[in-house]
């Protein structure tokens, strides 16, 4: 557990995100915003299940990265549509980073 916390804190220090934020829940996942004040918050909709992380309202041409709890990049593609399904094989913590022409958005998703 200590290693996971250290990895997340290290990742957050590099990316400038926060592990403290607004918590939202659903039956399948917990969502923590990287923008705690919700200033100019992007309109991405992110949901997850045991099989995939679904990201909608993505601008075409945006770069999407998904990292697992170990910091390994498990997904790295350019969005060709406004809806992206990222296949996952296990439960856990995932960091999602979306880079559009206007911004870089990073958030954490916990798949239970």
Query: Which one, of 39, 32, 18, lies nearest residue 103 by Cα?
Result: 39
Tally of residues, the chain: 112
Q: Domain residues for 59?
A: 45-111
Compute the distance between CA of residue 90 and CA of residue 68 in angstroms, rounded to an integer.
Answer: 10
Give me the pLDDT at residue 50, please: 82
pLDDT digits (tens, 9 = 90+) for 23-55: 333 334 444 444 455 556 678 999 998 899 999
Low-confidence ranges of the chain (pLDDT < 70): 1-41
Question: CATH number for the domain including 49?
Answer: 2.60.40.10
> Does residue 102 form part of some domain?
yes
> Does residue 9 form part of some domain?
no
> Does residue 33 form part of some domain?
no
> Does residue 31 form part of some domain?
no
How many domains is the chain partitioned into structurally?
Answer: 1
Give me the pLDDT at residue 11, please: 57
Give me the pLDDT at residue 68, please: 94
Query: Global pTM?
Result: 0.64
């Amino acid at each position: 557990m200590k290693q996971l916390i250290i990895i997340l804190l290290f990742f957050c220090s590099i990316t400038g995100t926060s592990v403290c934020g607004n918590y939202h829940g659903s039956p399948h996942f917990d969502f923590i915003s990287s923008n705690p004040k919700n200033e100019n918050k992007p309109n991405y909709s992110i949901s997850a299940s045991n099989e995939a992380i679904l990201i909608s309202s993505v601008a075409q041409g945006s770069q999407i990265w998904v990292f697992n709890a170990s910091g390994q990049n498990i997904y790295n593609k350019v969005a060709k549509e406004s809806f992206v399904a990222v296949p996952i094989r296990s439960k856990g913590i995932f960091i999602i980073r979306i880079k559009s022409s206007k911004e870089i958005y990073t958030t954490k998703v916990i798949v239970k």
